[in-house]
C-alpha cells in the first residue's frame, strides 16, 4: 500500500499516520510492521514508529501474508444488491465477518468474494481483503461497496477519507435519547481494559461524528422504553454507533458487548421476551449507502430492506406499544 503525506498530516508520527490510513490494523500491528522493516519513506526503509512524516513524503507499506493466512475460497451465496464493471453492492447478512482476522480465516465475505470473482477485484488492500473498501461489524447487517478494480478502489477510498460517503443505519435502543434529534461528536479510542472494545475518550482517539434522529418511541407495559433511531455517519470508526449510543445512555438491543444483558422483567410479555432473546447480535442495520460512482462520476444511492429478525421485532413492538 502506498500513501502520500498531505499538509494536514505534516509532523505526525509514522505509526499514527498509518493507523489513520489503514483502518483494519491496530496501532500495535502497525508498530510491529514498521519495526519489521516493512515500511519505506521515500523508498528508504525505516524501523522507527516515532519517525515524523513530512508533506509530500511517499510512504509504502508491505503487508506480509503468512502461508497459513492464505485466503481460501468459500462457496457462500452472496446477496448482490447491484453490480457493474466497477463496483459491487453487497447486502451482508448478520453473523458474517467481512475479512479474515485473528481467529476468522474462513467463511468471511472476502472468502466468498475470492471464490466468485477470483482475481477480478481490487488488490490495494492485499490478498486477504480483495475489493474490500470498508467494513461493518460481524453482527451488523446491511450494505457494503466492493471495488472491482484499483482505480475504483482509490476513488471510493478517497471519498471515505474525506467523509463524503452518505451512510444511514437503523437501530433499536433501550430508552430515549435526549434531545430526540442531534449530533454526537466525540473522540473514540480503544478501551484500556479490553483492547477488543472501543470507548469515548476525552483526551485521545479519533474524531467520530454521528447524526441521529428518533423515528419512534415504543411504550410497552412492564418494559423499559425502546426507541427506533436513524443514524447518519460522518465518520466510520470501529463500533462507532454502538459506542455513541452507549455514551448517550441508550445501548442497542442485543448488543452483548456494549449493551445491557436482556433482563426478564416482572410481568413482561412472554412473546416479546422470546423474540428479544433470539435476536442474533445487535439490532443494527446499514440501510443505505450513497457516493459518487467511480467511473460515471454521478451520485448513486442504494437502499436495503431490514433483515427478517429486525422486521419481526419491529412488528412486535408496534403491536404491543400503546
Positions annotated as catalytic residues are: 137
The CA distances from residue 283 to 47, 137, 162, in Å, are: 43, 12, 28
Q: What is the dihedral of CA 183, 284, 159, 115, to 10 degrees?
A: 170
Q: Fill in the DSSP letter of residue 120.
A: -
Rg of the chain (C-alpha set):
21
Do the strands 299-303 and 198-201 form a parallel or antiparallel pair, or are they unpaired? unpaired
Helices vs strands, H then E, count in the chain: 7, 14
Alpha-carbon span 307 to 310, nearest angstrom: 5
How many residues are present in the chain?
322
Amino acid at each position: 500500500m502506498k500513501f502520500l503525506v498531505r499538509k494536514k498530516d505534516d509532523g505526525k508520527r509514522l505509526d499514527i499516520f498509518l493507523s489513520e490510513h489503514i483502518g483494519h490494523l491496530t496501532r500495535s500491528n502497525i508498530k510491529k510492521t514498521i519495526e519489521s522493516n516493512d515500511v519505506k519513506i521515500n523508498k528508504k526503509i525505516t524501523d522507527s514508529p516515532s519517525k515524523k512524516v513530512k508533506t509530500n513524503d511517499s510512504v509504502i507499506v508491505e503487508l506480509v501474508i503468512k502461508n497459513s493466512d492464505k485466503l481460501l475460497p468459500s462457496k457462500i451465496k452472496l446477496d448482490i444488491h447491484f453490480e457493474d464493471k466497477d463496483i459491487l453492492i453487497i447486502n451482508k447478512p448478520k453473523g458474517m465477518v467481512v475479512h479474515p482476522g485473528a481467529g476468522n480465516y474462513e467463511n468471511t465475505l472476502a472468502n466468498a468474494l475470492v471464490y466468485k470473482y477470483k482475481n477480478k477485484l481490487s488488490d490495494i488492500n492485499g490478498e486477504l481483503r480483495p475489493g474490500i473498501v470498508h467494513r461493518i461489524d460481524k453482527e451488523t447487517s446491511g450494505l457494503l461497496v466492493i471495488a472491482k478494480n484499483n482505480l475504483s478502489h482509490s476513488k471510493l477510498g478517497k471519498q471515505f477519507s474525506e467523509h463524503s460517503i452518505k451512510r444511514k443505519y437503523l437501530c433499536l435502543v433501550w430508552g430515549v435519547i435526549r434531545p430526540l434529534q442531534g449530533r454526537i461528536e466525540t473522540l473514540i479510542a480503544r478501551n484500556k481494559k479490553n483492547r477488543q472494545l472501543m470507548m469515548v475518550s476525552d483526551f485521545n482517539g479519533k474524531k467520530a461524528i454521528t447524526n441521529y434522529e428518533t423515528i419512534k418511541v415504543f411504550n410497552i407495559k412492564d418494559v423499559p422504553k425502546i426507541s427506533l433511531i436513524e443514524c447518519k455517519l460522518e465518520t466510520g470508526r470501529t463500533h462507532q454507533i454502538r459506542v455513541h449510543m452507549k455514551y448517550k445512555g441508550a445501548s442497542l438491543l442485543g448488543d452483548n458487548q456494549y449493551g445491557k444483558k436482556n433482563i426478564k422483567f416482572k410481568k413482561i410479555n412472554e412473546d416479546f421476551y422470546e423474540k428479544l432473546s433470539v435476536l442474533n447480535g445487535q439490532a443494527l442495520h446499514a440501510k443505505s449507502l450513497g457516493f459518487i460512482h467511480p467511473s460515471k462520476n454521478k451520485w448513486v444511492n442504494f437502499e436495503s430492506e431490514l433483515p427478517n429478525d429486525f422486521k419481526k421485532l419491529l412488528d412486535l413492538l408496534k403491536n404491543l406499544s400503546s
